[in-house]
Amino acid sequence: MNSYNEFFGMYNRPSLNLFNDHCNYTLNEVNLKNSWIQGKVNGIQKEGKRWSVMTIKSSGMDEETKGKRG
């Protein structure tokens, strides 16, 4: 990660480069790409504090993905 001293405005918002570096670091840290599923949603249901999302992948097969957050 690069070091930047680029903050702008009254609220000291970070520069675009600093923000992008932070996002890239965070996404790599939690390994988000391994959780990425692409498909068409054909159902959603709340189960307690979790959500269950049913999708149709491009192959036409059904798949169920359970969320980890409520």
Q: Are residues 1 and 24 in the same domain?
A: yes
Per-residue model confidence as pLDDT tens digits over 39-53: 888 899 998 999 888
Q: What is the pTM of this model?
A: 0.44
Q: Is 30 helix (H, G, I), strand (E, B) or coil?
A: coil
Q: Are residues 19 and 43 in the same domain?
A: no
Number of domains in the chain: 2
Sign of dihedral through CA atoms 39, 42, 44, 45? negative
Q: Are residues 14 and 24 in the same domain?
A: yes
User: Which residue segment(s) compose the domain that 23 sits in?
Assistant: 1-36
Per-residue model confidence as pLDDT tens digits over 19-31: 999 999 998 998 8
Q: Are residues 31 and 54 in the same domain?
A: no
